[in-house]
A and B are shown apart, each in its own frame.
Chain A
Amino acid sequence: MLTDNITRVKKDFSKDIADVKDIGDLEEIRIKYLGRNGIISKLFDQLKDVPKDDKPAVGKELNLLRINVTSQFEKLQTSLASEKDEKESKVDLTLPGKKYQIGSKHILTQTLDEMKSIFKGMGFSIHEGPELESDYYNFEALNFPHDHPARDMQDTFFINEDFLLRTHTSPVQIRLMENMKPPVRAIMPGRVYRNEAVSARSYCMFHQVEGLYVDTDVTFAELKGTLVAFAHQYYGKDLKYRFRPSFFPFTEPSAEMDITCFMCKGEGCNICKYTGWLEILGCGMVHPNVFKSVNYDSEKYTGYAFGMGIERIAMLKYGITDIRIFFENDFRFLKQF
């Protein structure tokens, strides 16, 4: 019977195809089963002898057999062909890829970029100001009177009595407020200079990010909220923080923000000088005398300001122990980031 034959052919084919070793074997199988006078062709010839009622079912079965055989044949054919290619090919794919040089941004730029993107998300603009500043912008307008000990907090490089290298980015606050009315919400990154002996911990030049927000209802509580949100985003959600009273002539009340030392998790180590805390920024509410120097009404407007050193933050984050390495520009250092 034809149905029995079909079953037998299926079995034979499985056996035959399992024995195939190369393209030659495969070709023999093709002729044997799929050739013009092959087994399957002959089976189709027998279809005419099948009773009429059984014809559709048997025909269907026969068709399935042909499809099955063809597909198994093709699959094997492809795999044998690629095996052959691989053996004959001369390409050594294990050779190293060609070098494409891509530059990197200085790690301080990368640190700043990350900070900028956080503050931009909180609705801050970004402004810049000059490095060679006047005494007025750097000190006087910021409520540092002449001959006041507060000036000793920032050792200054002077050009002459009236001009100097800015010791902080705070003068940009004044320049900004002189040129616009509230609301003002901006960060002001830039390079600053201090006349301090160069050591692993301090350099005569470094970078800061200044922040300022002035509007009708800005509070110390909002300052805390904003800076805590920044710290959580930059340093991680589970850090602890504290705000300590401090003194800056241009803010009142003034504070410094500490976060738990992430080297020792607050246990105390030589990075945090065994206090468990790291100071990361200074901040406070804009002093009414500052508003006065830019003709803002301090009864109507309140504001906060903050400032942080970028080198310090990068040193903490990347475990850099000598600040001078930032400015040596050793190519091996630059390429690490």
Chain B
Amino acid sequence: MKVSLNWLNDYVDLKDISTGEIVDSLTMSGLEVEDVVDQKEMYKNFIVGFVEKKEKHPNADRLSVCIVATGKESVSVICGARNVERGQKVVFAPVGTIIPKGNVELKKAKIRGVESSGMICAEDELLLSEDHSGIMVLDPKLKEGTPIVDALNLDDVLMEIAITPNRPDALSHLGVARDLSAIFKKDLHLPKINLKESNIDINDTASIEIADEKNCPRYSSLVVLDVKVDDSPDWLKNKISSIGLRPINNIVDITNYVMYETGQPLHAFDLDRLNGKKIIVKSTKRKSEFTTLDSKERELLRDTLMICDAEKDVAIAGVMGGENSEIYYDTKNVLIESAYFDPSSIRKTSKYMQLSTDASYRFERGTDPNNTLFAAERTAALIGEIADGKIAKGSIDVYPKMIEERIVKFRLRRLNKILGFNVSAEDSIQIFEKLGFGVKQLANEELKVTVPTYRPDIEQEVDLIEEIARISGYHNVPTIPRISITLDTKHDETVLTNNVRDFSNALGLSEIINNPLQPELLAKSTGDAVKLSNPLSMDMAYLRTSLLPGALSVVARNLNRGEKNLSLFEIGNVFNLKEDKSDINSFDDFDEEEKIIFILSGKKVERDWFSDTKEYDFYDLKGIVNSFLSKISLDNLLNDSYYSIYNNIYEFYLTKNFKDREVGLGGKIRSDVLKKFDIEQNVYCFEFNFSELKQIPVIQNKYSEPLKYPKVFRDFAFVFDKTVLFDDVRNFIQVKSSKLLKNVNVFDIFESKELGQNKRSMAFELEYFDMDRTLTEEEVEKDFEKLIKLVSKQFNAKLRGN
């Protein structure tokens, strides 16, 4: 909210306090000042100029060349505004002036061949309004050379304050002034109301009825007759335009002024346009339509609180008035509405209609139910004075059930327990009183605090404690230099995940982090995806069901940017609806699981002096997966299954299984899948269900003594049919060999014309040892010879090298 320092000074005397100190104090007491405009500083170079001469620009139809007298000299200025005329007094910015709009320094320039030394300004360039329809034309009595600061009384300081949702009271100048009076220990002066009532009884002019007391607990009204609707006087125009409002007419301007003064939203009805001169506050019974004063037809939900006359709707309560009852230039009689509406009712309406107004913003945060009459009287008094109206005698104030002030107990002991420092009873009482709270001191350092209804945020003791803390300043709370640490067990649920990141790094993989929000096509390609009800865009309407689509998008993006050799991993959550579920009604209806994915694409080894280029292949992926598993001690607990059958994502793939459950899957991505991502090189991915891996009980690693006796190695190579799988041969060897054979490694595989079609050679190294003794050559040789025979026979293989 924009707040004017001059305006604040109407209620609390701040003249002896520097702007800097005021701004700082507000920020440090919870009303954060986000921006400050010191007009004296901002407008210091602008002066009144006199347009001595105006000629058409020789090279441009829309531009004029003006000679402007500045009091010291006459300079030539190019002006593009249509309303510039000889003899006008204007706002003139000499060369070197910083123009507030855009914060740019004005330089001498040649515009279409003619020199321009300065600028004649429009309101928007000065940030006085958004008006750029023409230059500002000033009072002809002003003398050229007069600083604009003096000529237009631009001596204010305007602050943009971010008001948190708990402080509706601070959405007004009086509210901000009240905080300042507490901070600087100064008196707060409420505006004096000079209500000159006529002898016409208000009850003879209008009547009011509340049909929905729950949503409208109070409706206060005054009536002003025979008003003259006109432009507002300058002081009022200046005041409301200083905080960024557009002056409309005196009646509307006064209601806005009083709202920004007191925080109470007001509405003025043209009384003669209210059928039956009657106001009825009630909720709609069915869906309907209503045209608001911005001439827009709006749909109303059932149970929308409305202001009605005897026959029709005239305003959406607390949100916006209707076109059918708004003030016109010929309005004579005015009914002032000053009501208290239930915050959540207004919020529902405003949300549903996507219509947030100054009024609804305040009502939904909570206005003061006990200030409606004051605000109505203030408004009536000003309308009487400014619009020359006759104020009807009395008021109509429908308030069936008084909303009482809250009484909250405050213990100094409790303040100390929460803040960790002491505040005296006197200081606390002073702060409460300056904030307008009633205080009664009880025994035992306890206070009974009566909270005014303009502070709906103060509900309990801790809220009072915050008031003391923020007004005395958080900097007064000590910053203690030591803490105690409890000796209970500390958990770190992220340890395994951290380790896995380290292992992945060691395996050469770099971590990526993707946005889990995806388009439907991607999310549904890998699972049963959860849909957002209010997505930002269709590209981000679903939650990912797998890390794979995101990974492929990253590969594609990198290829596009010339990064072709990629080894990546990601750890993140994926979301899947459970079978047979289409919506989420409980946490049992979906799975949120942590997954880890490894991604390889491009060259493992680039062309270099020591080696030829090598592409990543399936065996790199498999090796990484197995190394990873061995680091988390799961390598011996999981089994592999291999598939070359049809799969919609993989050309061929491997699964890792715990008992009969698949916990990981990956392989070579099909080229038609890659094509959809515009990827033209092979990609290998493996995805583990990390949540499930974490569930597998791992046997604690125990020390085992290193082998003390020598190993014995034997090699053999066979020519097999190509259909014979390595795994089958290895398993066969392991089953048939003596227990002394501990490992079978394949160390050479090749095919050639000499071997024949559909044949390949596989060479094995057999590793023999015993933990307890040295082996003899004979026993190894015996087993080796036996294996040669068995393998030859079993696989119809031919021993090579013989």
Contact = CB atoms under 8 A, between A and B. Distances in A.
A145 to B, nearest CB: 8
A299 to B, nearest CB: 9
A225 B592 contact: no
A244 interface: yes
B530 A159 contact: yes
A225 B482 contact: yes
A89 B516 CA distance: 58
Interface string A85-109: 0000000000110110111111011
Nearest to B611: A98
Interface string B515-533: 1110000000000001111
Nearest to B461: A288
A150 B506 CA distance: 46
B557 interface: yes
A67 B249 CA distance: 116
Interface stretch (B300-308, B328-336, B374-382, B484-492): B484-492
A197 interface: yes
A225 to B, nearest CB: 4
A105 to B, nearest CB: 5
Contacts of B566: 331
Interface stretch (B107-115, B185-193, B464-472, B754-762): B464-472
Contact of B480 (A124, A134, A198, A224): A224
A131 interface: yes
B796 interface: no
Given A224-B480, A242-B475, A147 B347 contact: yes
Contacts of A5: none
A133 B23 CA distance: 40
A101 B506 CA distance: 8
Interface string B493-532: 1100010010011111111111111000000000000111
B244 interface: no
A169 B479 CA distance: 26
A99 B20 CA distance: 59
A159 B531 contact: yes
Contacts of A101: 508, 567
Interface residues of B, number: 92
A140 interface: no
B32 A125 contact: no
A296 interface: no
Contact of A128 (B417, B493, B516, B583): B493
A292 to B, nearest CB: 11
B474 A158 contact: no
B421 A106 contact: no
A264 B563 CA distance: 36
B725 interface: no
B569 interface: yes
Interface stretch (B159-167, B255-263, B673-681, B778-786): B159-167
B501 A109 contact: yes
Given A106-B512, A157-B534, A247-B167, A134 B504 contact: no
A213 to B, nearest CB: 9
Contacts of B418: 219-220, 253, 285, 302
A121 B718 CA distance: 60
A149 B536 contact: no
Contacts of A197: 536
A160 B569 contact: no
Contact of A205 (B469, B517, B557): B517
Contacts of A130: 573, 587, 592
Interface in B537-581: 540, 543, 554, 557-558, 561, 563, 566-569, 572-573, 575
Given A123-B486, A132-B575, A225-B481, A163 B167 contact: no
A313 B413 CA distance: 37
A126 interface: yes
A165 B540 CA distance: 13
Interface string B333-358: 00000000001100110000000000
Contact of B166 (A96, A150, A191, A329): A150
A38 interface: no
A190 to B, nearest CB: 9
Given A204-B536, A222-B420, A103 B513 contact: no
A204 B517 contact: yes
Contacts of A244: 27-28, 30, 32, 474
Nearest to B417: A302
Max count, chain B CB within 10 A of own CB: residue among A99, A252, A254, A334:
A252
A326 B514 CA distance: 9
B348 to A, nearest CB: 6
Contacts of B167: 247
B150 interface: no
Contact of B515 (A105, A204, A220): A204
A94 B784 CA distance: 47
A40 B568 CA distance: 72
Contacts of B583: 160
Contacts of A103: 504-511, 567, 569
A116 B494 CA distance: 10
Contact of A228 (B166, B479, B498, B608): B479
Contacts of B490: 120, 123-125
Given A152-B165, A228-B479, A104 B505 contact: yes
A105 B501 contact: yes
Point out which of B417, B421, B566 has the most chain A C-beta atoms below 10 A from its C-beta: B417
10 contacts: A96-B609, A103-B504, A116-B492, A204-B536, A219-B418, A220-B420, A225-B481, A245-B28, A252-B463, A330-B558
In the A-B complex, list the 3 residue pairs whose CB atoms are closest, starting with the nearest. Answer: A219-B420, A221-B420, A245-B30
Given A120-B492, A132-B592, 7 more contacts: A103-B507, A158-B533, A204-B540, A220-B419, A221-B480, A326-B513, A329-B568
Interface of B: 27-30, 32, 164-167, 343-344, 347-348, 364-365, 417-421, 460, 462-463, 465-466, 469-470, 474-475, 477-483, 485-486, 488, 490-494, 498, 501, 504-517, 530-536, 540, 543, 554, 557-558, 561, 563, 566-569, 572-573, 575, 583-585, 587, 590, 592, 605-606, 608-610
Interface of A: 95-96, 98-99, 101-106, 108-109, 113, 116, 120, 122-128, 130-132, 134, 146-150, 152-153, 156-160, 162-163, 165, 183, 185-186, 189, 191, 193, 195-198, 203-205, 215, 217, 219-222, 224-226, 228, 242-247, 252-255, 285, 287-288, 302, 326-332, 334-335
